Amino acid sequence: MARGLLGWVAVAVWLLATSLAAQDPLLSAALGEKDVSAERVKSRLEALTKDSQLDKGARQELESAYRGALAEAEAADRLRQQLAQKRALGADGVAQIERVRRPLPPARDPATLGLLQLEELESRLKVARAAVDAAANAVRQAEAQVADLAARQKELPKRIAAGEKRIRELEEALRIAAAVETDALRKTAGQTLAACRLAAARLDHAVAQAELQTFSLANELAGAKLERARAEQQRAAAWVAEIGKVLQVRLQEDVNQEIDRAARQMREVESGNPVLREALRDNLERARLRRDVQVELPGLRQRVQEVQKTLADSRQRFAAIRKMITQIGLTQTTGEMLRQQRARLPDPATHQRQRAKLQEQSNGIRLKQMLLAEELAIDVERFVDRVRQAEPEAARAQIEPLARTVHADRQEILGKLQRDYDEQLNELARLESEELVLQQFAGEFSGFIDEKILWVRSSVPIWQSDFRRLPKVLDEMGPLLRFPEAAVRGARDSVVELGLMGILLLGLIGLRPRLLRGLKTCAEQVKRPLDTSMHPTTLAVLLTAALAAPPAVLLWMVNEVVRSYEVVQVVGVGMARATAGAVWLAWPLEFFRQACRTNGLAREQFGWPPAAVSRLSRALLLLGMVGVPVLLLVRSLDSAPEHVRSLVSRPVLALAWLLMALLLGSLLRPDSGLLGAAAAPERRMARRTRVIIMAALVCASLAVVVLALTGWFFTARHLSARLLSTLG
């Protein structure tokens, strides 16, 4: 009985909605008989604004509903266009792919460049560089489209399911709006809004279904566009290189002609006028300076091309890795491949130092340009007057034409040198920009890899390792044995930096007795009952920092050598990263150890108990003697093969953190450890807190050991770095 009654009510509601729809085309559109158009909603909104019989509140309510309907209708129009594109891709996708994959037009003949003048070559070079930048932007857009397709592939099924659910909800809302509302105008506005929302939802669902059906074609088309964009970029870069070669030859010829002309003037001019002779010498020197600048420019352009190629290769590897992870997932094999790719990434610190050098070089060139601008400001009359003043009065009229000629040559050479400096600055700016982009991309790439491989097993458990391969592994570490020879060559490139650091190191060692006497003086000043100044404590901190500096300076000298090109070619960038990390580990440890010495900060300035200070000093010495060598070894083998890290780095890291767990447990025991010696009897809650801290640190250290031994070596190293940061 109840079911029959509900059925008759539903039929009545449907008939009511159908009768209303017959009177209003928008409502008939709501029932799916025709599309809801933005023009109809807009006309209804305009008619509503002209209706003077409505009060202000009703008009605002109705206008709000129609504006919402208009926004939904406009969104539906955009979705119709997307749907048409998806359907066109399904019908014409293969033809579009074939059109994109057509061969590029024949390349331009470089022989035609030889017929152009110098000014036209410079103009062509600017246009070609703009084409290279446009091609690079096209490549980035194509890469973004490929990445977007890969991300949307996973979301399409969820989007389709959510669309179906929303369509059902909106259909139900439309029926309720037709049955509940009694006011005709409000009913029409509510049904119009619901109808537009329903139409937009149906179109969005249809677009998602069409995209899923044509996804393989869209993916192939995006890949074809990316390949073509890269080919066009390579062709544009090759054309820039061809123009640069021809332009370089022309500029060299022009510079050589200027040098010959200036040298010939020096020989032919017999006047002993000092101002004129100095101007002739300046012309010759500036012409030779132009030659030096022209010699440097090809090297800068080559470096720009190398950085661009490195960036393009890195982007291709990044895209391939993301595609591989999407298709295969994360396994131990893919994790090892990701770790190898991460080891091949350039060091961001290297690019940062390179950019600093480029900025320094650019500043030097700008200073030279400022000096040139001052010389260019000297007009011909001033120069001629200076020449005339240096000549006897009888010969002044004869020397004036020659002076004007020399000044004109001088202005021409200075103007060309100024343009050469502008070109050098442009190349340096391009190189710095490319270095910055590569540095940012390397950080993004490494962050992506670290996120993916954090919980991927990197090797088998250590008890399954084949230690019989250890002699072979040691043979594979042979490049490390060539380190001294490469270090000597690398030190030659950093003689100035190493000399300054050596002077600093010897100075700190020589001043050590005076630093110790200064600490003693500060301790005596603090003991005075009426002395409340912070000066002794501040001075003691500075003296302690100076006492702790020699090991860090020595390690920084080693880092200056191992990060040179010669050493990196032999042992890779791992040793440079290892020594840089060791500096920031050794100096804090040595600082706190020196703070625990006699007359040091801990005992005299802060009043720590002698037993706790001596125990902490021994622990810090042990930690430094173990931690720094372990860090150097583990970080140096970052780029080594997996079996080398498994048999060498893993046991060393596990043993180091096992010692760390024992050391922390000994230091932090509430009764007999460091805290027990430093603290007076206290409440139970504070004692429990110390027990929790000790247990957390010891368990974290043991977790590193377990992760390293069971094959999660990368995760163990990541956790090690976080623990060291926490303890620091």
Q: What is the pLDDT of residues 373-412, one digit of tens each?
A: 888 888 888 888 888 887 777 777 778 888 888 888 888 8
> Which among 381, 213, 242, 349 is positioned nearest to 301, based on CA atoms?
242
Residue 135 and residue 233 in contact, taking contact as beta carbons nearer than 8 Å? yes
> Is the confidence at residue 13, as pLDDT, over 80?
no
Answer whether residue 211 is part of any domain.
Answer: yes
> Which among 415, 419, 370, 416 is positioned nearest to 256, based on CA atoms?
416
433 with 556, same domain?
no
Say how far apart CA 333 and CA 340 lie, in whole Å. Answer: 11
649-668 confidence digits (pLDDT tens): 778 778 888 888 887 777 77
What percentage of the chain carries pLDDT values higher than 90? 1
The single-letter DSSP state of residue 642 is: H
- Report pLDDT for 620: 82
Domains: count for the chain: 3
Chain position carrying tokens 């400001």 = 377
Angle, helix 495-510 to helix 512-527, in steps of 10 degrees = 50
Angle, helix 396-453 to helix 215-268, in steps of 10 degrees = 150
Answer whether residue 141 is part of any domain.
Answer: yes
Amino acid at 237: A
123-134 confidence digits (pLDDT tens): 888 888 888 888
Say how far apart CA 320 and CA 38 lie, in whole Å. Answer: 43
Residue 69 and residue 193 in contact, taking contact as beta carbons nearer than 8 Å? yes
The domain boundary, picked from 575, 607, 639, lies at 607
Q: Residue 168 — pLDDT band, cuts 50, 70, 90?
A: confident
Residue 656 and residue 591 in contact, taking contact as beta carbons nearer than 8 Å? no
Answer whether residue 231 is part of any domain.
Answer: no
344 with 414, same domain?
yes
Say how far apart CA 501 and CA 487 lie, in whole Å. Answer: 16
Answer whether residue 152 is part of any domain.
Answer: yes
- Report pLDDT for 25: 40
Say how far apart CA 329 and CA 9 lie, in whole Å. Answer: 54
Non-local CB neighbours of 312 within 8 Å, separated by 6+ positions: 139, 230, 233
> Is the confidence at residue 362, as pLDDT, over 50?
yes
Q: DSSP 3-state assignment of 582?
A: helix
> Is the confidence at residue 284, as pLDDT, over 80?
yes
Answer whether residue 401 is part of any domain.
Answer: yes
DSSP string, 269-335: -----HHHHHHHHHHHHHHHHHHHHHHHHHHHHHHHHHHHHHHHHHHHHHHHHHHHHHHH---HHHH
Tokens standing for residue 125: 């070079």
In sign, the C-alpha dihedral spanning 716, 717, 723, 727 is: positive
294-349 confidence digits (pLDDT tens): 888 888 888 888 888 888 888 888 878 877 777 777 777 777 777 777 767 766 76
Question: What number of H helices and E strands is found in the chain?
Answer: 26, 0
> Is the confidence at residue 481, as pLDDT, over 80?
no
Average pLDDT in the chain: 77
28 with 131, same domain?
yes
Q: Is the pTM of this model over 0.75?
A: no
Say how far apart CA 346 and CA 682 lie, in whole Å. Answer: 53
Mean pLDDT of 235-246: 84
Burial of residue 186, with CB atoms counted within 10 A of its CB: 0-12 exposed, 13-18 middle, 19 or more buried:
middle
Q: Residue 6 — pLDDT band, cuts 50, 70, 90?
A: very low
- Report pLDDT for 33: 34
Residue 293 and residue 418 in contact, taking contact as beta carbons nearer than 8 Å? no
507 with 550, same domain?
yes
Say how far apart CA 713 and CA 113 lie, in whole Å. Answer: 58
- Report pLDDT for 198: 84
518 with 444, same domain?
no
441 with 487, same domain?
no
Tokens standing for residue 202: 């149906």
- Report pLDDT for 586: 84
Please tell me the least confidently modeled range out of 348-352, 426-430, 440-444. Answer: 348-352
> Is the confidence at residue 11, as pLDDT, over 60?
no
Q: Residue 22 — pLDDT band, cuts 50, 70, 90?
A: very low
Say how far apart CA 224 and CA 149 lie, in whole Å. Answer: 14
Burial of residue 174, with CB atoms counted within 10 A of its CB: 0-12 exposed, 13-18 middle, 19 or more buried:
buried
> Is the confidence at residue 431, as pLDDT, over 80?
yes
Say how far apart CA 387 and CA 375 lie, in whole Å. Answer: 16
> Is the confidence at residue 34, as pLDDT, over 60?
no
Answer whether residue 128 is part of any domain.
Answer: yes
406 with 486, same domain?
no
Higher per-residue pLDDT: 473 or 613: 613
The domain boundary, picked from 541, 576, 607, lies at 607
Residue 518 domain boundaries: 481-607
The domain boundary, picked from 193, 223, 253, lies at 223
6 with 126, same domain?
yes
560-582 confidence digits (pLDDT tens): 777 765 555 555 566 777 777 78
Residue 16 and residue 9 in contact, taking contact as beta carbons nearer than 8 Å? no
The single-letter DSSP state of residue 394 is: G
Answer whether residue 639 is part of any domain.
Answer: no
448 with 485, same domain?
no
328 with 196, same domain?
no
Chain position carrying tokens 């006028």 = 273
76 with 134, same domain?
yes
- Report pLDDT for 468: 63
288-309 confidence digits (pLDDT tens): 888 888 888 888 888 888 888 8
448 with 569, same domain?
no
185-229 confidence digits (pLDDT tens): 777 777 787 888 888 888 888 888 877 777 777 777 788 888 888
Answer whether residue 644 is part of any domain.
Answer: no
Burial letters 209-223, b for 16+ CB under 10 A, else e: bbbbebbebbbbbbb
Higher per-residue pLDDT: 133 or 636: 133
Tokens standing for residue 498: 């190493």
Please tell me the least confidently modeled range out of 271-275, 283-287, 396-400, 481-485. Answer: 481-485
DSSP string, 357-377: HHHHHHHHHHHHHHHHHHHHT
